[in-house]
Amino acid sequence: MSQPKSDYAPPDTSGQDLEPPSLEDNWIAIEPPSSPSLRGSNGTEGVPPSRLRPPSFESAQFDVVLRRQRQRPSGGGGVKFTAVPSRFLNLVNTFEFSGWGTMTRMDLNTADLARGDEDIQNARRAITLGQYTASALAGNAVLGSVFYALPAVIAVSGVYSPIALFCATCAMFLWRPVMEELASALPISGAPYTYLLNVSSKNLALVAAAFLLLDFASTSVVSAATAMSYLTGEVSLPFPIIVGILLVLVLFTLISLSGLRDSARIALTLLILHMVTMLVLFVASTVAWCRMGNSQLRSNWAAGRQNTSASTVARQTFQGICLGVLGLTGFECIPSYVSSIKPGRYPLVLRNLHYPTILFNALSMLFVLALVPLDTAISGANVLSVLAQIVAGRWLRIWIVVDAVIVLCGGVLTGILGACELFERLARDRLLPQLFLRRLPVTCAPVYSIVSFSAFSYVLYATSGANLAIVSKMFSLVWLAVMTLFPLSLLLLKFNRGRLPRKPQTSLLVVFLTLAVAAVIIGGNIGIDPSIVGYAAAYFVVIAAFFYLTMKKVRMVHWILWVYDQMQWLHRLAWTRACGGKLATALRHLRRQPVCILVKSDEICFVQINILFHKLLYVSQNEETSCLKLTHFYDEEFGIPSEMEANWKILDEAFPEITVDLILVRGRFTPSNVAALAHRLCIPTTLMFISCPGPRFAYNVAEFGTRIISL
């Protein structure tokens, strides 16, 4: 079949042989590695294995191995054609194939090394958060959740709410060791997306990214909407609540543009104000309880236990626990900025937020039952402001309302910060446009990430019909899904990256118990309100589909180009021919974005070629690229393994859709040298892949910024 001419040209291959290679092959001899065992006792060479019979397994490793290779163009370059028929009938399909790889020896120059050192120093200077400032960034979301957790729990648990809320907040004792081990192994921001990216496939990591984005947006929306609800309960606003939420998002967008350090200071100020307010409320409640006695508590207890059986009590307590875990919202945001927390402070941050959460939630609920009539507590949304009115009067009620508005608005800041870290990781992984990496010149705030997330949060609230109940239902299931990702990530880390150094190490029993508790709580929330599945699924499917399209954009363009190729009448129109040419150009551009695999000496040996094969297979399945740099750092002392060139040629031939270049870099494998290489090759370190480092590895994996893709 003749092929009509296309309006766009394939890559320039002048002077290159584009005909499919002939059946003539060349042979490459792989010499045996030099070994003292091959020498006799007197220092002479040992007797080679007998040629009269097949060699034994022990002696076969010392034979000369001949490997048949396809003939490469003598001048280099060329296209790696295969015998696979093309699916394109009318277009020249050279863009489906890649060129032959080349081997390069490289010495990093002074400018590269200086740039690498600068990148490492900048990363170290970014570690600025101590235990208190790091606690404050998520603390407003964590400790502010008491304002919307209490009404939900008391509505289903009644007089058993203090027990349910105490048990729910104690569940964090299961998650804390899990989160500490993950952060010790992979102190990389953007978790749990980055956790799953390093211990599993990219598809599963994108599922985590979709849940994370929804969680951060829901945190911001629910916090802002609850703050407006508290405010409208006391004063009449001259504008609708949806306008007030927009104003809150705009205000904290401007605060976020001031930078991480200033945002942390503001968050710490808000958190201290909230803790002082809660302490004043507790002191006033204690004094009022001592003055009023237990009469209200007995009345509430009697009213709550009317016509109840043991099964009813168990059901109410269980449902209260399932809803009470929402008092822990905000903990999932801490790992998203773990790379900015100083070493050794992360466990302290979790501790600093967990204990006050237990204290504030349990005591608040106890004081409500002891001092507020049960019917009033169940029917009122602003439970703590009602408590303040009873124990101290209107002045404390106003104080509580102001504090609620401020600390809940601080939860918006938590969501923005977590989303910015996630967007940066996605942009470095080429899943979002590179403009998300741009920062303001003075504050270094990621302006596009902040503005985009604030706009997305407002759209999320608007598409729910400005209904806080719908967003809250979606938020409850999404948050539980995110918390389930932590024990799942640790389980995969133990199985797939067990050699990775980390302290402490959590037992498998705790991991499985955490997964079981998460599953039970998710089931309980669905049982209380099955509609949360529909709301969460609707938003999740849209976000996950968007991320999937960004991951498979080359395939999408390929399908569109195939549809264009099949419809011959489109080739007769000038504008469609121009679009076809632009699609082919875009396809070639997207496929030429390179990635890098950093290999060790023991992976290049003949017996370890399967490791390299699986690494290339990972790239083929998870990265849409036709340009791969296989890189090896070497010292003069050790030299270069003799099998390297032959094995590289085999791999280059085994993947006709990928150009595999071999780069030999003189120098030691250090974070600064890897950063210098990234600058030289114009490849971000997040797209440089390594094997899992062992316990004797001299550096922390976070210093390299690379991705772990094999055991």
- Whether the CB-CB separation of 360 and 384 falls below 8 Å is answered with no
Cα 555 from Cα 546, distance rounded (Å): 14
Cα 647 from Cα 651, distance rounded (Å): 6
In which residue are the tokens 């960034």 written? Answer: 137
Say what the pLDDT of residue 35 is. Answer: 46
pLDDT, tens digit, for every residue of 621-653?
999 888 999 999 888 756 677 778 888 888 888
Phi and psi dihedrals of 238, rounded to 5?
-80, 5
DSSP 122-166: HHHHT--B-HHHHHHHHHHHHHHTHHHHHHHHHHHHGGGHHHHHH
Percent of the chain whose predicted confidence (pLDDT) is above 90: 44
pLDDT, tens digit, for every residue of 425-480?
999 999 999 999 998 888 888 999 999 999 999 999 999 888 888 888 888 899 99
- Three-class DSSP labels, 529-563: CCHHHHHHHHHHHHHHHHHHHHHCHHHHHHHHHHH
Bridge partners of residue 666, in order along the sequence: 107, 634
Say what the pLDDT of residue 176 is. Answer: 95
Give kind and range of the element (H or E) at residue 376: helix 374-379
Say what the pLDDT of residue 4 is. Answer: 40
CATH class, 118-549 region: mainly alpha
CA-to-CA separations, 534 to 71, 209, 457, 469, 518, in angstroms, rounded: 58, 19, 19, 13, 19
Smallest CA-to-CA distance from 256 within 453, 431, 122, 123 is with 453
Token pair, residue 445, equals 């705030």
More confident residue, 50 or 499: 499
- Whether the CB-CB separation of 77 and 16 falls below 8 Å is answered with yes
Say what the pLDDT of residue 22 is. Answer: 45
Cα 191 from Cα 422, distance rounded (Å): 8
pLDDT, tens digit, for every residue of 181-206?
999 999 998 889 999 999 999 999 99
Signed CA dihedral, 176, 178, 179, 180: sign only: positive
Phi and psi dihedrals of 57, rounded to 5?
-60, -40
Whether residue 411 is predicted with pLDDT greater than 70 in this model: the reply is: yes
pLDDT, tens digit, for every residue of 290-317?
999 999 999 999 888 887 788 899 999 9
Whether residue 23 is predicted with pLDDT greater than 50 in this model: the reply is: no
In which residue are the tokens 């399945």 written? Answer: 621
The full set of domain ranges for the chain reads 25-112+556-710, 118-549
8-state DSSP, 699: S
Smallest CA-to-CA distance from 214 within 463, 516, 528, 525 is with 463
